[in-house]
Amino acid sequence: MMIWSGLLLLSCLHRVAAWEHTDDDLMSFKTLPDVKAVKFDIEHLDRDRAAPGYWFVSPYLHIAPDGPTSVFEPFQIGPHIYDQDGRLVWTGSLMFDNHNVFDFRGISSFGNETHISLIQQYTFDDTHRGYGLVMNPNFEVIRKVPLRQDLGLFDIHEFNVLKNGQTAVVTTYTTDEISLAEFGRPTEQTHLEVGGFAELDLTTAQVLHEWKSYDQVPLAETIHYSKWSPAEGDPGWDYVHINSVDKNDAGDYLLSMRFTNTIYLVSGADGRIMWRLGGQHNGDFQQDFIFSKQHDAKFLYSEGTHHIISLLNNASDEEFSEEDISSAMIIEIETGTTPMTAKVLRRYNRPDGDLTRLRGNAQVLSNKNMFVCWSKGGYISEFTENGELAMSARFTSPRYSNYRAYKYEFTGRPTIPPDMVASVHGTDETNLLTTIWVSWNGATEVDTWRFYARKTQFDNPIFIGNVTKQDFESMYIARGYLDWVTAEAVDRDGNVLGESNVHRTEFPDWTAVGWMGYSGELPKPQDPSMLYPNGDGIADEKASEQGSASSSDGTAKAEVIKATQLLSKAQAAVRSIGGLFALVLLLAMMATIMVGFMLIRGWRVRFYQRLRLEDGMSEEETRLRRSEDD
């Protein structure tokens, strides 16, 4: 009895766990059924002062590339663009086959329109070694830049397309074997990960300039190893951990090295280190501030001896912290004085008062706002120039993180047609409705969707209605069973941007869904010209604004929308109480088992109490005697 009870309890607990697991923290779409894009939780504190633009993020589950699996995984990893309300604009998870992508950003060095650059991570087995990609506003790859093989795998930290639009700088990691004589151990050797950078021609992938740390940065500058650290095999000591590189108009390079707590300016002419900012030996500047474990050092201004840079001051790593809070910083550097000086112009503290122990970046926007990625959980913030918090957001799901996030104005014009799905439903001839879902991955200029139906695939289209685009995916509910349908994307000026392919409407198993038609026959597609006699296949007038779901039949529209809203509320309520209900049910089942057990036990006690005792014998003796008699 108790064994069965235990098994039942385990089964119930398993079901409770299953009921509690949902994917409510991800978006799903009828038109892209394999995509599950991450959601954002957003807090707008000063919407009017936020800079215009879209968020460029690239969620990942694991920083290292995953191997192949036979388990189905929805497309949720890789580059994504969102608007400032967290609505999806473009998902690149399908394009990049659900693989990690890093340093996903907009670039303005190709003509007058914002293009896209990113790093396609190397595969788990090095089948491909990674690339830097440049895409046009049509989401077409126009540059695919590999790294020369002797410079290692294409590093995920930086692919910085420079202002000239002809070259990019990237971080590099190679391995050398060195003597530890510098640490007083001349008889020992260790492998060393040498951090460096290369400038690449975007057309030919030719390495135009390269630099390696070991020639210039001694072991004594690392804070990650000491002279007592044991030697390591391949890949060796990651003693500097370079994580960003930028170039100024003078041709010199700005480097960030996390494991030396130092920003370096390296001469483009001869490769020497021109100055050090920070570090355990206090660098070359007189300064009244510190930073550590930093990321993403970039030039904001650089002219002669005067420089202004931005960086993310992590102030911590996985083990230690030098300050209590991470921050983005804008630093002014003057090298024409004696001593050279550095001072903080602006500091933007992490809004939740916590530390970003890994990764992240800081970007100064067009209106001089500061946009910061705090990495873990996709946490991002936008500050006004004077440091007031305008916006803060995180992924709804804590399972995902994001290395860098950026914000850019961008116009997306995909060349693939819009995606569309249509289905018909109803219980009899009087309430047949065709529901159409449409989306256009990456299109930023769509204001309105116009919908058309055809009697056959090759007939002229009949205009059946329109809906204002309000989200990534729009829904339209039309009266009748419409067999062949299309959608047309229109901008705010009435210009047609694109058209979907002709789609055939899906229909259910009518008998299974309870069809109760009066004629005794299953429903057949209807002629749209009879249902919509005013539709002539031409939509000359600009579509008037309607809801996210609309129908030419106002009554049907209202009833369907109301029913849909009630169903959604009911589902949400069930989900919200699902865990509590499961727990109550589990406790009730356990109570029932215990009551049953006690009843059976009590019945046995009463049975013995009712046994007739033999004269002169106790109850125990009577039971023993009967056993002997048996």
Tens of pLDDT, residue by residue over 404-421, are 999 999 999 999 999 999
Does the pLDDT of residue 200 top 70, yes or no?
yes
* pLDDT band, residue 22 (cuts 50/70/90): low
Does the pLDDT of residue 308 top 80, yes or no?
yes
Does the pLDDT of residue 577 top 60, yes or no?
no
The three-state secondary structure class of 298 is strand
153 vs 173: CA distance, rounded Å: 8
- Which DSSP symbol is given to 559? H
Q: What is the pTM of this model?
A: 0.84
State how far Cα 622 lies from the chain centre.
Answer: 77
pLDDT of the residue at 110 = 84
Residue 182 vs residue 511, higher pLDDT: 182
What is the average pLDDT across 289-318? 98
- Which DSSP symbol is given to 75? B
How many other CB atoms are there within 10 angstroms of residue 365's CB atom? 19
pLDDT of the residue at 588 = 62
Q: What percent of the chain has pLDDT over 90?
A: 75
pLDDT of the residue at 304 = 97
What is the average pLDDT across 293-303? 99
Greatest mean pLDDT among 453-467, 538-552, 581-595: 453-467
Residues 480, 434 contacting (CB under 8 angstroms): yes
The secondary structure of 7-73 as a DSSP string is: HHHHHHHHHHHHHH---TTEEE-SSSTTBEEEPEEEEES-GGGSPS-EEEE--BS-SSPP---SS--
The secondary structure of 355-421 as a DSSP string is: ---S--EEEE-TTS-EEEE--GGG-EEEE-TTS-EEEEEEESSTT-B-S--EEE------SSPPEEE
186 vs 325: CA distance, rounded Å: 41
- Between CA 307 and CA 314, with CA 310 as vertex, the angle to 5 degrees is 140
DSSP-assigned beta bridge partners for residue 195: 173
Does the pLDDT of residue 610 top 70, yes or no?
no
pLDDT of the residue at 572 = 44
pLDDT of the residue at 394 = 98
The three-state secondary structure class of 604 is helix
pLDDT of the residue at 519 = 74
The secondary structure of 533-547 as a DSSP string is: TT--S---SPPPP--
List the end-to-end C-alpha distance of the chain, in Å, as a whole number: 27
Does the pLDDT of residue 626 top 50, yes or no?
no
Computed over every residue of the chain, the mean pLDDT equals 87
What is the average pLDDT across 398-404? 97
pLDDT of the residue at 111 = 78
Look at residues 8, 99, 113 and name the one whose alpha carbon lies nearest to residue 61.
99
What is the average pLDDT across 414-439? 96
Does the pLDDT of residue 237 top 50, yes or no?
yes
- Which DSSP symbol is given to 482? -
Least confident stretch, 103-107, 155-159, 439-443, 604-608: 604-608
* pLDDT band, residue 540 (cuts 50/70/90): very low
Identify whether 79 is preceded by a cis peptide bond (ω within 30 of 0): no
Q: Model confidence over 136-150: pLDDT tens digits?
A: 999 999 999 999 999
Least confident stretch, 208-217, 248-257, 342-351, 621-630: 621-630
- Between CA 60 and CA 63, with CA 61 as vertex, the angle to 5 degrees is 70
pLDDT of the residue at 368 = 98
pLDDT of the residue at 592 = 61
| Neighbour order of strands in the sheet with 361-364 | 40-44, 389-395, 380-383, 370-373, 361-364
Does the pLDDT of residue 295 top 90, yes or no?
yes
Q: Does the CA dihedral 342-345-348-354 come out positive or negative?
A: positive
Residue 11 vs residue 298, higher pLDDT: 298
pLDDT of the residue at 126 = 87
pLDDT of the residue at 605 = 39
